[in-house]
Amino acid sequence: MEKKVVYSAVQPSGNLTIGNYIGAIRSWVKLQNDYDCFFAIADMHAITVRQEPAELRRRTLDLAALYVACGIDPEKCALYVQSHVSAHAELCWVLNTLTYVGEASRMTQFKDKSARHADNVNMGLMDYPVLMAADVLLYQTDLVPVGADQKQHLELSRDLAIRFNNRYGETFRVPEPLIERGGAKIASLQDPFKKMSKSDENPNASVFLSDDRDAILRKFKRAVTDSGDAIVASEEKPGITNLLGIYCAFKGCTMSEAEASFAGMGYGDFKLAVGETVADALAPIQAEQKRLLSEKKYLAELLAAGSERAFRAARKTLSKVYRKVGFYRE
Protein backbone atom coordinates (compact mmCIF):
# COMPACT_ATOMS: atom_id res chain seq x y z
CA MET A 1 0.00 0.00 0.00
CA GLU A 2 1.21 3.51 -0.78
CA LYS A 3 2.40 5.47 2.22
CA LYS A 4 0.57 8.61 3.22
CA VAL A 5 2.38 11.88 2.58
CA VAL A 6 3.61 14.28 5.27
CA TYR A 7 4.81 17.81 4.45
CA SER A 8 6.16 20.53 6.69
CA ALA A 9 8.71 23.34 6.73
CA VAL A 10 10.45 25.87 8.94
CA GLN A 11 11.71 29.29 7.85
CA PRO A 12 15.44 29.99 8.12
CA SER A 13 14.65 33.37 9.65
CA GLY A 14 16.16 34.16 13.02
CA ASN A 15 17.27 31.65 15.60
CA LEU A 16 14.99 28.70 16.08
CA THR A 17 13.34 28.40 19.47
CA ILE A 18 12.34 25.40 21.56
CA GLY A 19 8.79 26.21 20.32
CA ASN A 20 9.83 25.41 16.74
CA TYR A 21 11.48 22.24 17.97
CA ILE A 22 8.61 20.94 20.09
CA GLY A 23 5.77 22.23 17.89
CA ALA A 24 7.29 21.04 14.62
CA ILE A 25 10.66 19.36 14.04
CA ARG A 26 10.47 16.90 16.91
CA SER A 27 7.08 15.63 15.85
CA TRP A 28 8.37 15.12 12.31
CA VAL A 29 10.98 12.66 13.53
CA LYS A 30 8.25 10.38 14.86
CA LEU A 31 6.47 10.35 11.48
CA GLN A 32 9.37 9.58 9.17
CA ASN A 33 9.18 5.79 9.48
CA ASP A 34 5.53 5.49 8.59
CA TYR A 35 5.00 8.25 6.03
CA ASP A 36 6.48 9.53 2.82
CA CYS A 37 7.94 12.77 4.21
CA PHE A 38 8.93 16.07 2.63
CA PHE A 39 10.63 18.54 4.97
CA ALA A 40 11.63 21.89 3.50
CA ILE A 41 13.63 24.90 4.52
CA ALA A 42 11.22 27.70 3.66
CA ASP A 43 13.63 30.36 2.40
CA MET A 44 11.02 31.85 0.04
CA HIS A 45 8.74 32.48 3.00
CA ALA A 46 11.62 33.96 4.97
CA ILE A 47 12.16 36.85 2.53
CA THR A 48 8.65 38.18 3.14
CA VAL A 49 10.36 40.07 5.95
CA ARG A 50 13.74 41.68 5.32
CA GLN A 51 16.69 39.32 5.57
CA GLU A 52 20.40 39.95 5.39
CA PRO A 53 21.40 37.83 2.33
CA ALA A 54 24.60 36.38 3.81
CA GLU A 55 22.77 35.56 7.04
CA LEU A 56 19.92 33.88 5.17
CA ARG A 57 22.40 31.72 3.28
CA ARG A 58 24.18 30.74 6.50
CA ARG A 59 20.95 30.04 8.35
CA THR A 60 19.70 27.83 5.53
CA LEU A 61 22.67 25.51 5.98
CA ASP A 62 22.41 25.76 9.78
CA LEU A 63 18.82 24.61 9.52
CA ALA A 64 19.67 21.69 7.25
CA ALA A 65 22.24 20.56 9.81
CA LEU A 66 19.75 21.08 12.60
CA TYR A 67 17.09 18.94 10.91
CA VAL A 68 19.55 16.07 10.68
CA ALA A 69 20.88 16.67 14.21
CA CYS A 70 17.30 16.51 15.54
CA GLY A 71 16.92 13.08 13.98
CA ILE A 72 15.47 13.67 10.51
CA ASP A 73 16.93 10.92 8.36
CA PRO A 74 17.73 12.25 4.87
CA GLU A 75 17.61 8.69 3.52
CA LYS A 76 13.99 8.35 4.57
CA CYS A 77 12.76 11.90 3.89
CA ALA A 78 13.16 14.47 1.16
CA LEU A 79 15.00 17.23 2.99
CA TYR A 80 15.43 20.23 0.74
CA VAL A 81 15.46 23.99 0.26
CA GLN A 82 12.17 25.42 -0.99
CA SER A 83 13.74 27.78 -3.57
CA HIS A 84 15.54 24.82 -5.19
CA VAL A 85 12.21 23.50 -6.47
CA SER A 86 10.70 26.17 -8.70
CA ALA A 87 7.33 24.40 -8.80
CA HIS A 88 6.50 26.03 -5.45
CA ALA A 89 6.48 29.50 -6.99
CA GLU A 90 4.72 28.24 -10.11
CA LEU A 91 1.84 26.59 -8.27
CA CYS A 92 1.60 29.60 -5.99
CA TRP A 93 0.87 31.75 -9.03
CA VAL A 94 -2.02 29.54 -10.12
CA LEU A 95 -3.42 29.42 -6.59
CA ASN A 96 -3.20 33.20 -6.37
CA THR A 97 -5.84 33.37 -9.07
CA LEU A 98 -8.19 31.41 -6.82
CA THR A 99 -7.48 33.36 -3.63
CA TYR A 100 -9.60 36.35 -2.73
CA VAL A 101 -7.81 39.44 -1.48
CA GLY A 102 -10.36 39.59 1.33
CA GLU A 103 -9.55 36.15 2.69
CA ALA A 104 -5.79 36.71 2.46
CA SER A 105 -5.97 40.05 4.23
CA ARG A 106 -8.04 38.55 7.06
CA MET A 107 -5.29 36.10 8.09
CA THR A 108 -4.21 36.72 11.68
CA GLN A 109 -0.51 36.35 10.93
CA PHE A 110 -0.71 38.82 8.05
CA LYS A 111 -2.36 41.36 10.31
CA ASP A 112 0.21 40.79 13.09
CA LYS A 113 3.19 40.95 10.77
CA SER A 114 1.83 44.02 8.96
CA ALA A 115 1.62 45.78 12.29
CA ARG A 116 5.15 44.70 13.27
CA HIS A 117 6.70 45.56 9.90
CA ALA A 118 4.58 48.58 9.03
CA ASP A 119 7.29 49.95 6.75
CA ASN A 120 7.31 46.78 4.66
CA VAL A 121 3.81 45.45 4.09
CA ASN A 122 4.73 43.77 0.83
CA MET A 123 2.66 41.51 -1.47
CA GLY A 124 4.72 38.50 -0.38
CA LEU A 125 3.61 38.96 3.19
CA MET A 126 -0.01 38.74 2.13
CA ASP A 127 0.76 35.86 -0.22
CA TYR A 128 2.56 33.90 2.49
CA PRO A 129 -0.31 31.45 3.16
CA VAL A 130 -0.90 30.91 -0.57
CA LEU A 131 2.74 29.88 -0.97
CA MET A 132 2.22 27.55 1.97
CA ALA A 133 -0.78 26.06 0.21
CA ALA A 134 1.37 25.55 -2.90
CA ASP A 135 4.03 23.82 -0.76
CA VAL A 136 1.58 21.41 0.73
CA LEU A 137 -0.63 20.73 -2.30
CA LEU A 138 2.28 20.06 -4.67
CA TYR A 139 3.07 16.82 -2.87
CA GLN A 140 -0.52 15.54 -2.53
CA THR A 141 -0.02 15.81 1.20
CA ASP A 142 -2.22 14.00 3.71
CA LEU A 143 -0.83 15.41 6.96
CA VAL A 144 0.92 18.64 7.92
CA PRO A 145 2.56 18.58 11.38
CA VAL A 146 2.75 22.16 12.67
CA GLY A 147 2.26 24.28 15.78
CA ALA A 148 -1.17 25.72 16.58
CA ASP A 149 -0.30 29.13 15.08
CA GLN A 150 -0.37 27.62 11.58
CA LYS A 151 -3.88 26.19 11.79
CA GLN A 152 -5.54 29.12 10.01
CA HIS A 153 -3.04 28.95 7.16
CA LEU A 154 -3.74 25.28 6.68
CA GLU A 155 -7.46 25.96 6.56
CA LEU A 156 -6.74 28.18 3.58
CA SER A 157 -4.72 25.33 1.99
CA ARG A 158 -7.73 23.07 2.41
CA ASP A 159 -10.12 25.68 1.02
CA LEU A 160 -7.91 26.28 -2.02
CA ALA A 161 -7.58 22.54 -2.70
CA ILE A 162 -11.35 22.13 -2.56
CA ARG A 163 -11.95 25.27 -4.64
CA PHE A 164 -9.52 24.12 -7.34
CA ASN A 165 -10.99 20.60 -7.39
CA ASN A 166 -14.50 21.99 -7.73
CA ARG A 167 -13.56 24.29 -10.56
CA TYR A 168 -11.21 22.09 -12.58
CA GLY A 169 -11.93 18.52 -11.44
CA GLU A 170 -10.28 16.31 -8.84
CA THR A 171 -6.57 17.31 -8.69
CA PHE A 172 -5.42 17.89 -5.11
CA ARG A 173 -5.65 15.79 -2.02
CA VAL A 174 -7.14 17.88 0.80
CA PRO A 175 -4.54 18.04 3.62
CA GLU A 176 -5.18 17.75 7.35
CA PRO A 177 -3.17 19.67 9.95
CA LEU A 178 -1.52 17.55 12.64
CA ILE A 179 -1.22 19.61 15.79
CA GLU A 180 0.24 17.85 18.82
CA ARG A 181 -1.64 18.29 22.04
CA GLY A 182 1.30 18.92 24.34
CA GLY A 183 3.69 21.18 22.42
CA ALA A 184 1.34 22.94 20.03
CA LYS A 185 1.87 26.31 21.61
CA ILE A 186 4.93 26.99 23.73
CA ALA A 187 4.53 30.43 25.30
CA SER A 188 7.08 33.17 25.91
CA LEU A 189 8.93 32.81 29.21
CA GLN A 190 8.19 36.48 29.90
CA ASP A 191 4.52 36.53 28.94
CA PRO A 192 2.63 33.23 29.06
CA PHE A 193 -0.18 34.71 26.92
CA LYS A 194 2.20 35.26 24.00
CA LYS A 195 3.68 32.65 21.66
CA MET A 196 7.41 32.01 22.09
CA SER A 197 8.84 33.52 18.94
CA LYS A 198 12.13 33.79 17.05
CA SER A 199 11.69 37.53 16.78
CA ASP A 200 10.73 38.55 20.33
CA GLU A 201 12.50 41.74 21.38
CA ASN A 202 12.88 40.63 24.99
CA PRO A 203 16.04 38.48 25.12
CA ASN A 204 14.65 36.45 28.03
CA ALA A 205 11.40 35.55 26.31
CA SER A 206 12.65 32.80 24.00
CA VAL A 207 14.97 29.86 24.51
CA PHE A 208 16.92 29.32 21.31
CA LEU A 209 18.12 25.94 20.16
CA SER A 210 21.57 27.49 19.92
CA ASP A 211 21.61 28.78 23.53
CA ASP A 212 24.34 27.39 25.75
CA ARG A 213 23.65 25.85 29.14
CA ASP A 214 24.25 29.07 31.08
CA ALA A 215 21.88 31.08 28.89
CA ILE A 216 19.20 28.38 29.15
CA LEU A 217 19.43 28.21 32.95
CA ARG A 218 19.42 32.01 33.22
CA LYS A 219 16.33 32.37 31.05
CA PHE A 220 14.41 29.76 33.01
CA LYS A 221 15.50 31.35 36.26
CA ARG A 222 14.01 34.66 35.06
CA ALA A 223 10.84 33.07 33.67
CA VAL A 224 7.67 34.67 35.01
CA THR A 225 5.63 32.55 37.38
CA ASP A 226 2.23 33.04 38.98
CA SER A 227 0.94 33.89 42.43
CA GLY A 228 0.72 31.11 45.01
CA ASP A 229 3.32 28.38 45.38
CA ALA A 230 1.78 25.18 44.05
CA ILE A 231 3.31 23.66 40.93
CA VAL A 232 0.16 22.62 39.11
CA ALA A 233 -1.19 23.15 35.60
CA SER A 234 -4.31 25.30 35.59
CA GLU A 235 -5.88 28.27 33.83
CA GLU A 236 -5.04 30.50 36.79
CA LYS A 237 -1.38 29.56 36.47
CA PRO A 238 -0.40 30.17 32.84
CA GLY A 239 3.31 30.68 33.61
CA ILE A 240 3.67 27.48 35.62
CA THR A 241 1.53 25.58 33.11
CA ASN A 242 3.82 26.65 30.27
CA LEU A 243 6.93 25.59 32.20
CA LEU A 244 5.35 22.25 33.05
CA GLY A 245 4.43 21.80 29.38
CA ILE A 246 8.02 22.45 28.31
CA TYR A 247 9.29 20.04 30.96
CA CYS A 248 6.89 17.30 29.83
CA ALA A 249 7.78 17.81 26.18
CA PHE A 250 11.48 17.35 26.87
CA LYS A 251 11.10 14.65 29.52
CA GLY A 252 8.42 12.70 27.67
CA CYS A 253 6.09 12.55 30.66
CA THR A 254 2.48 13.57 31.35
CA MET A 255 1.39 16.74 33.18
CA SER A 256 0.24 14.75 36.21
CA GLU A 257 3.53 12.86 36.40
CA ALA A 258 5.37 16.20 36.25
CA GLU A 259 3.12 17.75 38.91
CA ALA A 260 3.71 14.74 41.18
CA SER A 261 7.48 14.95 40.83
CA PHE A 262 7.51 18.67 41.74
CA ALA A 263 5.00 18.48 44.61
CA GLY A 264 6.22 20.57 47.56
CA MET A 265 9.14 22.12 45.62
CA GLY A 266 9.64 25.91 45.50
CA TYR A 267 9.39 27.87 42.24
CA GLY A 268 13.16 28.54 42.15
CA ASP A 269 14.14 24.87 42.28
CA PHE A 270 11.38 23.98 39.85
CA LYS A 271 12.60 26.49 37.27
CA LEU A 272 16.16 25.22 37.69
CA ALA A 273 14.99 21.65 37.11
CA VAL A 274 13.12 22.63 33.92
CA GLY A 275 16.16 24.56 32.67
CA GLU A 276 18.46 21.61 33.33
CA THR A 277 16.13 19.22 31.53
CA VAL A 278 16.07 21.47 28.46
CA ALA A 279 19.84 22.06 28.51
CA ASP A 280 20.52 18.30 28.84
CA ALA A 281 18.22 17.55 25.91
CA LEU A 282 19.67 20.23 23.64
CA ALA A 283 23.37 19.53 24.29
CA PRO A 284 23.68 16.43 22.05
CA ILE A 285 21.65 18.12 19.27
CA GLN A 286 23.93 21.17 19.37
CA ALA A 287 27.06 19.00 19.26
CA GLU A 288 25.77 17.01 16.31
CA GLN A 289 24.72 20.16 14.44
CA LYS A 290 28.20 21.59 14.91
CA ARG A 291 29.79 18.38 13.64
CA LEU A 292 27.53 18.33 10.58
CA LEU A 293 28.29 21.96 9.78
CA SER A 294 31.93 21.01 9.38
CA GLU A 295 30.83 18.57 6.65
CA LYS A 296 29.60 21.08 4.09
CA LYS A 297 29.95 18.65 1.19
CA TYR A 298 27.74 16.08 2.89
CA LEU A 299 25.09 18.71 3.57
CA ALA A 300 25.20 20.01 0.00
CA GLU A 301 24.79 16.47 -1.33
CA LEU A 302 21.88 15.62 0.87
CA LEU A 303 20.10 18.85 -0.07
CA ALA A 304 20.70 18.13 -3.76
CA ALA A 305 19.28 14.61 -3.38
CA GLY A 306 16.33 16.00 -1.43
CA SER A 307 15.44 18.61 -4.04
CA GLU A 308 15.75 16.02 -6.80
CA ARG A 309 13.23 13.83 -5.02
CA ALA A 310 10.94 16.76 -4.28
CA PHE A 311 11.21 18.02 -7.87
CA ARG A 312 10.07 14.68 -9.28
CA ALA A 313 6.99 14.57 -7.07
CA ALA A 314 6.17 18.26 -7.54
CA ARG A 315 6.46 18.15 -11.33
CA LYS A 316 3.74 15.52 -11.58
CA THR A 317 1.24 17.69 -9.75
CA LEU A 318 2.26 20.88 -11.55
CA SER A 319 1.86 19.31 -15.02
CA LYS A 320 -1.58 18.13 -14.05
CA VAL A 321 -2.50 21.60 -12.79
CA TYR A 322 -1.24 23.30 -15.95
CA ARG A 323 -3.25 20.89 -18.06
CA LYS A 324 -6.40 21.40 -16.00
CA VAL A 325 -6.28 25.20 -16.12
CA GLY A 326 -5.86 25.09 -19.90
CA PHE A 327 -2.23 26.08 -20.46
CA TYR A 328 -1.34 25.07 -24.01
CA ARG A 329 1.09 22.14 -24.33
CA GLU A 330 2.29 20.37 -27.48
Give catalytic residue positions.
113, 195, 198
Of 61-69, 111-119, 128-136, 159-167: span binding ligand TYM (CB under 6 A)? 128-136
- Could you say whether residue 223 binds ligand TYM (CB under 6 A)? no
List 135, 142, 200, 211, residue binding ligand TYM (CB under 6 A): 135
Distance between CA atoms of residues 96 and 132, nearest Å: 11
List 63, 196, 240, 299, residue binding ligand TYM (CB under 6 A): 196
Residues 9-48, interacting with ligand TYM (CB under 6 A): 9-11, 19-20, 22-24, 42, 45
Distance between CA atoms of residues 189 and 183, nearest Å: 14
Count of alpha carbons within 13 Å of 229, Cβ hemisphere only?
6
List 5, 8, 94, 307, residue binding ligand TYM (CB under 6 A): 8
State which residue, 252 or 264, has the beta carbon closest to ligand TYM.
Answer: 252
Can you give the length of the chain in residues? 330
- Could you say whether residue 5 binds ligand TYM (CB under 6 A)? no
Distance between CA atoms of residues 42 and 154, nearest Å: 15
Query: Residue 8 — φ and ψ, nearest 5°?
Result: -160, 170
Site string for ligand TYM, 43-72 (x = CB under 6 A): --x---------------------------
CA neighbor of 206 nearest in space, from 43, 37, 15:
15
Query: Residue 34 — φ and ψ, nearest 5°?
Result: -105, -10
- Whole-number minimum distance, CB 14 to ligand TYM, in Å? 8
DSSP state of 25: I
- Could you say whether residue 149 binds ligand TYM (CB under 6 A)? yes
DSSP state of 2: P
State which residue, 186 or 223, has the beta carbon closest to ligand TYM.
Answer: 186
Contact 174, 158 (CB under 8 A): yes
- Could you say whether residue 7 binds ligand TYM (CB under 6 A)? yes
Position closest to ligand TYM via CB: 23
CA neighbor of 260 nearest in space, from 238, 228, 220, 231:
231
DSSP-assigned beta bridge partners for residue 122: none
Residue numbers at the binding site for ligand TYM (CB under 6 A): 7-11, 19-20, 22-24, 42, 45, 132, 135-136, 144, 146-147, 149-150, 183-186, 195-196
